[in-house]
Chain A
């Protein structure tokens, strides 16, 4: 019976080509607009490190006080004083401090131009904490951190540029005149959103090609290439800067269980209370320990444009559905005489329901195919609307394709419920009489 109704449905699509085309277009456009904007929303709101996002925590300590902060939210980064104190205390399974540095790699071959790529100063724990994939060698060790060693990890693309992609563990890399020994080469790695450096990148960035130990970077006074916020004049010189309340460092802790997270949180509160007792803070402890998804949400990583356009296109889809309800109503009721005959010949209401819902489903399939084409075009065109860092994340993958079809078909079937109900109410006697 199903295939017969499907045939009937397909045939009736052809009977009213204008109405059918209108419905197919309405569903196609509505679904495509929603799916295109959803592809951007999905890309900007995804979990960048799903396997560990609930055990990695960003640390915030309010060292500015209520006068300089808003809504009780501590500053988005840490001062050198706090970050290093927490590192020294070793209260988490793993901890790492991070800041972007502005260095250029100088090729040995003097005829080649220097290469500037993103770089971070961080600790040995950075790599195992964030599951950074290594191609050659490995991360530097905790001892290297303690020894303030001149070591570095570089990315595959930089290895290709500097060493033609060869085996380069143990080789030296010249960063602005300082030599670092390469301990490992990683795959080009930049989880999106770039959760561990949201304050400097707003969440979307190419990522880095060079990583060097934090302690060594501080020794070399490698300036911070990211945001630097001071509420008080730090005074002159690097030493004063390190002693200041300026915030510029991200601290992340890996805490495998909720209990450990709670203990760490209590430790942070205790630390802030200690600062209050010592007179450095003149306010009650205000600390935050947030896992990856919470941090991304508080930092509003999903762009406002993405949210607004998703909402507007969902509204668009609803209007298309209302439109389809009206057109289906017209289409079905126009066939009242036919329904009357069928009912008089013994078709049950249930038969009518099945037949018309299947017919609506065929419209949904046609709309879905059109929607899929338009979504493909839309995803290609996302770059015209959103900045490149975000646009390239929006892709038409099998999940999105399946979702497009499912949304199109279910939308048209939902739209068909009322018109079908009306069709099933047709009184056979009435129709027959007027004939």
Chain B
């Protein structure tokens, strides 16, 4: 190949070479990191909740006034919802996956321990909870209606029976024999694990105990709760539209907040991951525009070089160089510059990731991203230089005889 003469020629126009290489390096650094952010966010957005998310409607409800107990109101409402046409099942809870607010506590295996428990989100519910959420019970049994009790603000949530997720059970009982075992959510109040579900996630999207959930057979006597409704297939929109009126029909002494009062689960999911999705979109746009600008820059500078060297090309052609040789000359030249650029770019990309790692608690970039970035930029450089190189190869040998 003609690598030596190309390198010699490059030394003659250092500035342009350095600029292209620098641009490729910076683009690689930013694109790698931006794509990695996109990947991280898309992964989060796609994370499963363990629920069957289709045909679920969630309602935020606040009772107005201060009666001594809210339990009768809650039961009447639940009755009204369950008898709505199009509703398959429903229950009342304090929190649910992706709600981004809820209750968590540390659970202990040992009655006297006060530290090193396993953190778990608490979902209050009843015998309808599993069916409404569509989670899969993999061991044990569901709650019995007689086990569902109410508790007030002044009491502690620690019922005798609980259903837990497999992840939580395995964390607490690594031998895998959690079913039937006793666990303490409140000191001195034992709860028995009567059932284990395959998967269910916590309300928060950033928790480090994302799959640790306990379902408790409790009605929480409070003015604020959520109704979770599973509709019959195809009835989701009808229930979504009519449920507020049904509830106001039961009693007007309530508030269903304007924002997020009634939501389908698709809306819950979209709200929860709003920032992540936005970030992924923004970074994708930045990557696209950046690659386009870099490609345009390469086209611009290469065209200039070709224009500047028409006479030399003509001389080479007159001396017997084939069009193919001219084409490969410029392609190789670009490849060498791009190679220098990506080598510097890899260093910059890793450095930038390291810095973001410490500043923004981001994950370490995977090598495959850097490799893909390198290939993309080398390919982009070759594609961008192709048109100017083709034009160069068409320079006629006659150019050698022209004076300008």
Contact = CB atoms under 8 A, between A and B. Distances in A.
Interface of A: 18-19, 22, 25-26, 29, 33, 102, 104, 106, 113-116, 176-178, 223, 233, 236-238, 303-305, 307-309, 311-313, 315-316, 318-320, 322-323, 325-327, 329-331, 333-334, 384-387, 418, 422, 434-435
B404 interface: yes
Contacts of B297: 22, 26, 322-323, 326-327
Contacts of A319: 23, 26-27, 30, 290, 293-294
21 contacts: A18-B300, A22-B300, A25-B293, A26-B296, A106-B65, A113-B252, A116-B257, A177-B65, A177-B66, A313-B286, A316-B30, A323-B293, A323-B294, A326-B23, A327-B297, A327-B301, A330-B301, A384-B278, A385-B282, A386-B278, A422-B15
B187 interface: yes
Contacts of B66: 176-178
B294 A312 contact: no
Contacts of A305: 275, 278-279
A387 B64 contact: no
Contacts of A322: 19, 22-23, 26, 297
B313 interface: no
B279 A309 contact: yes
A308 B154 contact: no
Contact of A387 (B20, B30, B275): B275
Instruction: Please indicate which of the listed interface residues B297, B361, B403 has the most CB atoms of chain A within 10 Å of its own CB.
Output: B297
Given A233-B186, A316-B286, A434-B404, A418 B15 contact: yes
A22 B304 CA distance: 13
Nearest to B224: A102
Contacts of B22: 322
B274 interface: yes
B34 interface: yes
Interface string B349-371: 00000001001110000000000
A385 B279 contact: yes
Contact of B278 (A18, A333, A385): A385
B153 interface: yes
B223 interface: yes
Nearest to B305: A330
Given A326-B19, A326-B301, A387-B275, A312 B26 contact: no
Contacts of A116: 62, 64, 255, 257
Given A25-B293, A26-B297, A233-B156, A303 B23 contact: no
Please classify the interface of chain A as helix (H, G, I), strand (E, B), loop, or mixed, using the class held by over half of its residues: helix
Contact of B62 (A19, A102, A325, A329): A102
A330 B309 CA distance: 13
A74 B156 CA distance: 26
Please classify the interface of chain B as helix (H, G, I), strand (E, B), loop, or mixed, using the class held by over half of its residues: helix
Given A305-B275, A322-B19, A422-B15, A106 B64 contact: yes
Contact of B248 (A26, A113, A303, A434): A113
A330 B23 contact: no
B159 to A, nearest CB: 16
A387 B205 CA distance: 15
B283 interface: yes
Contacts of A333: 304, 308
B33 interface: yes
Given A233-B186, A323-B293, A326-B16, 20 more contacts: A25-B296, A114-B255, A116-B62, A178-B66, A223-B153, A233-B156, A238-B154, A307-B359, A309-B279, A312-B34, A316-B289, A318-B26, A323-B297, A326-B23, A329-B15, A333-B304, A334-B304, A385-B281, A387-B274, A422-B15
A334 B307 contact: yes
A341 B20 CA distance: 30
Contacts of B274: 387
A33 B282 CA distance: 10
Q: Which A-B residue pairs are the 7 nearest by beta carbons?
A: A385-B278, A330-B304, A116-B255, A326-B19, A323-B297, A114-B64, A104-B64
A435 B404 contact: yes
Contact of A304 (B20, B223, B360): B360
Interface in B181-215: 186-187
Contacts of A304: 360-361
B401 to A, nearest CB: 15
A22 B154 contact: no
A373 to B, nearest CB: 15
B1 interface: no
B200 to A, nearest CB: 24
Given A329-B19, A385-B281, A176 B360 contact: no
Given A114-B64, A312-B30, A316-B30, A326 B20 contact: yes
B254 interface: yes
B37 interface: yes
